Structure formats: structure tokens, C-alpha cells
Amino acid sequence: MKTIKRLLPLLFLLTTGQCYATDHSDTSIIKTHLTAITKTGQFRTYKNIDQLNKTADYIKTIFTQYSDSVYIQEYSANGQVYKNVICSFGTENTKRIIVGEPIEQMLPTDGL
């Protein structure tokens, strides 16, 4: 339950554009994204860089459908390069709300 609460901001961002486009909430879209992020071949831990990169690429692909301001921020920790996916809406505004969520898990679980 704790992990689902942590994934809600990410799921909100992944589905917000679609909700605006269709004027209703579609739980099947949320389920599709949640499944794509959590039911993967490997766990999303700091040790599985390939899976983290695949997840980041998936999120970037989805965000790109709804915003023209999407980029990857790379950072290093303990000699390893990790990625954050950054997506901005309303870039013409000086004030913004930023929602973020780490995609990696500390324990080897699927994230649910």
C-alpha cells in the first residue's frame, strides 16, 4: 500500500494529459502504465541499471506525448549513472508545481 501511494504522483503525471484529452478518468490507462512500470523482467533496484533505464525510457516516451519539454537528467552515485525524467507543463509560467517520484526500489520487489 505504501508503494502504491508513492506511485500515485507518477501515475497522475502519466495520465494527466490523457484525462484532459478525453475529459474523463480512464482507469485502464492507469493500469496499463502501472503494469508497464511494475511488471518487468527485473526488479527496479539500484543494482539493475538496465531495468531502471528501460523504465526511464518508458516514462520519457509517455511524457513526450503530452509535453514538448521532456528531458533526462543524469546523475552519478557510487560510480554508477542514474536517470531522472523531467517533464514540464506550462513552461510559459514562472511558477510551477513539480511532482517527482523515484523509480527505483530499495528492496527486490515489483514495486507493489
Query: Which positions ≥6 away from 108 have C-beta within 8 Å?
Result: 43, 45
Residue range 47-64: average pLDDT? 90
Distance CA 52, CA 83 (A): 8
Nearest alpha-carbon partner for 96 in 105, 104, 86, 88: 88
* pLDDT tens-digit map of 4-19: 445 455 555 555 544 4
Distance CA 60, CA 86 (A): 8
pLDDT at position 58: 92
**Higher per-residue pLDDT: 22 or 56:** 56
Percent of the chain with pLDDT over 70: 63
Q: How many residues does the chain have?
A: 112
* pLDDT tens-digit map of 75-105: 888 899 988 888 888 778 777 766 666 665 5
Cβ atoms within 10 Å of 97's Cβ, excluding its own:
6
- The one-letter code for the residue type at 43 is F
